[in-house]
A and B are shown apart, each in its own frame.
Chain A
Amino acid sequence: MSESMTMVAALNASLRRAMEEDPKVVLLGEDIGTLGGVFRVTDGLAKDFGDARVVGTPLAESGIVGTAVGLAMRGYRPVVEIQFDGFVYPAFDQIVTQVAKHHYRSSGATKLPIVIRIPYGGGIGAVEHHSESPEAYFVHTPGLRVLTPADADEAYHLLRAAISCDDPVVFLEPKRRYWDRAEVEPQRADDPWTPRVLRDGDAVTLVGYGPMVRTCLEAADALASQGVAAGVIDVRSLSPMDLSPVFEQVRRTGRCVIVHEAVEVAGLGGEIAAQVSQECFFSLEAPVTRVAGAYLPYPPSRFERHYLPSIDRVIATVREVMAL
C-alpha cells in the first residue's frame, strides 16, 4: 500500500526498515543522533535504536568513513552520513584508497558493505561547499557503486538496495528534491542497477539523473506542448552504468541530450555521450549534446539560477539539436 512522502521521510523509512531487519546495520555521522541530522533524515532513529546503532560522531569525515571500514570488517553494515557534498573531500582518501579497493586487495576475503550517503547538488541557496556534484570522482573509482535517486519512491528503494548490497555504495541524495512528495510503494520490485525509462519519445532522448530528472520531465512536458515528443531516461545507477535502455531509445529518436549539474568538462555526460556515439553512430541525426555546469567552481548562490541547467536551457538545447 503506497503512501505519499517527502524524499526525506522516504529515506528515513528506508533506514528504519533496514535497521529493523538487520541488527548489523549501524548509522554513523555528524549530528545524526538527537538532532536527526541537519536534514532530519535520521529523525527519531537514535531514540528507537539507541546510540550504539545511531552514532553521532566526532566532526571528522575521514574518521567517519575509516571507522566504518573497521566496523564492516567486524561484520557490520555501516550507513554513514556525510553532512554535505563539499565535506566529503576530507574522507576522499579513505573512500578511494581503502573503501573502494579492499575487496579487490583481499581477493574477495573481506567485503565492505558500506553505504556513504551524501546530500548533493545545488538549488537551495546555500553557502559555499554545500551545492556540489562530486559524482564523477566516485564513478571514476572502480570498486565503488554509485546510486542517485530522483524522487521519494526511488530514494526508498535505492537505499534499500544500497544497504543490502555487499559492495560499498556512494549514495547521492539530490537535496533540492528532499522536500518533493511522491507515492512510495514499499513492495515495488525492479532492478535498481539499471536505468529507468520514464517516458518514451520519437524526437529526442533526454538523459538525466538525481536532481535533473524532474528538470528533464518538466522540459519534456513543455516540449510536448510544442509538438516535440521527448523521451526521458533516469540513469540512477551511475556505477554500474548499463546504458542499453538509452542506446535502445536513441536508435529510434536519433538525438540525445544529457543533463547534469556537475561541470561539463570530464563529467559523466562525456562518458555517456562517448558510449551513445559509439553504440548509436549510424542512427544519430545530430551530435550528442550536454546541458551541464560551466567550468567554474560552484558560484555564490545568487548566481545559481544562471548556472544550473534549467528547463529553458534543456528546451533550447533540444530545439538546437532538432534544428527547430
Chain B
Amino acid sequence: MTHDTIPGWEDPIRLLNPEGGFHPHSMFPLEIDAELFRTMHRDMVMARRVDTEATALQRTGELGLWSSCLGQEGGQVGSAHAMRVGDFAFPTYRESAVAWSRGVDPLGLLGLYRGTTHGGWNPQEHGFGLFTIVLGSQTLHAVGYAMGIQRDGSDDAVIAYYGDGAGSEGDVHEAMVFATVESAPVVFFCQNNGWAISEPINRQTVVPFAQRAAGYGMPAVRIDGNDVLAGLAVTRWALERVRTGSGPVFIEAITYRMGAHTTSDDPTRYRPAGELEHWAGLDPIDRMERYLRANGIADDDWFTQLAADADALGERLRAGVRGVADPDPIGMFDHVYAESHHDVERDRARWETIIAGGAA
C-alpha cells in the first residue's frame, strides 16, 4: 500500500466537520441509530466531566496525579463503541474515555491516582486492560491476546491503543512484527495528539505515522481523531476486517492533547502560541452537539438532563474519592502471587509486628 492509497492520507477521514455538518464516506459507511448518537455524545460529555473533576481533585490534594484525555474524547469514544462485548482494549494511561465507554467506574481510575491501588478494575469484566504506564508494552499484550483469540477459533478482536510518543518504543515495532506475521486480529489505534510531554511529533518521526504501516504489511487509515463518527465508522471497518483473519490494521487518529501531559506538567513552557486556540475550534463535543441539535436527534430537555447527570457524576466522584479510607496496611502483601510464597508470608508476618509498633 503506497501513501496515496492510504485513506485519509491528504485529509484525514472526517464524517462530521467542526460546524456539525455530516459528510458520508463510501468506504466507511455509518450505520447508526439515534440512540447510539446520543449515547456517544453522552459518553464524551461524561468522560470530560471525569477529567475536570479529577483535575480539581488533584488540585485540592485528593489525588496524587491525573492524566487528562481532554480533547481526545472523539476518537476514544468512537473507537470504543466500534467494539463488541467480547472484544478487548489495551490502553495506555490516557484512555479514560475508552474506560468510561467500556463501563469502568471512574472511581476505579481515581483509586489508581489516589494511590489506593495499582489497578482499579477487573480487566476481564470490562474487556479493558489495566492502564499501562511504561508505554508500548501493552501493544505486545494486545497481540498476544489476539493470538489467543485465533487459537480459540473465536472472531473476537482487540484494539491496542497507544500514542505518538509510545510509537518510538521498540515494543510497538515488535508488536507490529508479531501481529503481521501471525495475522493477528488486532487494530493498532495510534492517537497522535501532537505531544509526548514536551516533545513534539518531529522528535518521534520524520514521516506521518500511517506511513510506517506499509513497512509491516498492514493497511492504514488516517482519521480526524476529534470526530467521534469517523472513529466509530473506521474502527468498525478495521475490526470487521481483522476478524476475518486478514491481519492487523493501523489507524492514526489526528487529535490534540488540550490539557497538560499530567497535572504535574506545565505546557506553557513548550506549547507554541495559538495552537490551543486552533484546536479548541475543532472540539469533538461541540461539533456533535451541533449535529444532534440540527438534526433533531436530541433537544434542549435532553441536553439539560445530560448536564444534570454530569453534575451528579461530579458529586459522586468527589464524595467517592473523599470517602475512601486508606487501605489496611497489611493489605499491601495481598496478591503478590497467586499461590502461597514463603518470602512474602515471612515478610507479612514481620510487618504485622512492625505495623503494630514493634521491631521485626
Encoded as 1 (CB less than 8 Å from any B CB) or 0, chain A from 130 to 150 comes to: 000000000000110100000
Q: Is B293 an interface residue (CB 8 A)?
A: no
> Assuming A103-B336, A105-B130, is B152 touching A74 (CB within 8 A)?
yes
Q: Is A108 an interface residue (CB 8 A)?
A: yes
> Assuming A58-B177, A106-B122, A109-B119, is B171 touching A69 (CB within 8 A)?
no
> Assuming A103-B335, A105-B119, is B174 touching A63 (CB within 8 A)?
yes
On whether the beta carbons of A109 and B151 are closer than 8 Å, the reply is: no
On whether the beta carbons of A62 and B174 are closer than 8 Å, the reply is: yes
* Interface size, chain A (Cβ < 8 Å): 50
Encoded as 1 (CB less than 8 Å from any B CB) or 0, chain A from 68 to 107 comes to: 1111111110100000000000100110011001111111
> Assuming A60-B177, A62-B170, A110-B123, is B141 touching A98 (CB within 8 A)?
yes
Contacts of B247 in A (CB 8 A): none
Binds A, one of B56-64, B200-208, B339-347: B339-347
Residue of A nearest to B140 (CB): A66
On whether the beta carbons of B140 and A94 are closer than 8 Å, the reply is: yes
Among candidates A66, A102, A143, residue contacting B174 with C-beta atoms closer than 8 Å: A66
Binds B, one of A118-126, A196-204, A239-247, A311-319: A239-247
On whether the beta carbons of B334 and A63 are closer than 8 Å, the reply is: no
Among candidates A60, A71, A239, residue contacting B144 with C-beta atoms closer than 8 Å: A71
On whether the beta carbons of A63 and B337 are closer than 8 Å, the reply is: no
> Assuming A63-B174, A109-B123, is B339 touching A165 (CB within 8 A)?
yes
On whether the beta carbons of B337 and A103 are closer than 8 Å, the reply is: yes
Q: Is B350 an interface residue (CB 8 A)?
A: no
On whether the beta carbons of B151 and A52 are closer than 8 Å, the reply is: yes
Residue of A nearest to B134 (CB): A97
Contacts of A60 in B (CB 8 A): 174, 177-178
Residue of B nearest to A244 (CB): B342
* A-B pairs, 9 with minimum CB distance: A70-B144, A66-B140, A74-B148, A67-B144, A63-B174, A240-B342, A70-B145, A166-B338, A105-B118
Contact residues of B with A, CB < 8 Å?
Answer: 88, 90, 117-119, 122-125, 129-130, 134, 137, 139-152, 170-171, 174-175, 177-178, 181, 334-339, 341-344
5 A-B residue pairs with Cβ-Cβ distance under 8 Å, sorted by A, are: A90-B170, A105-B118, A106-B130, A110-B123, A167-B341
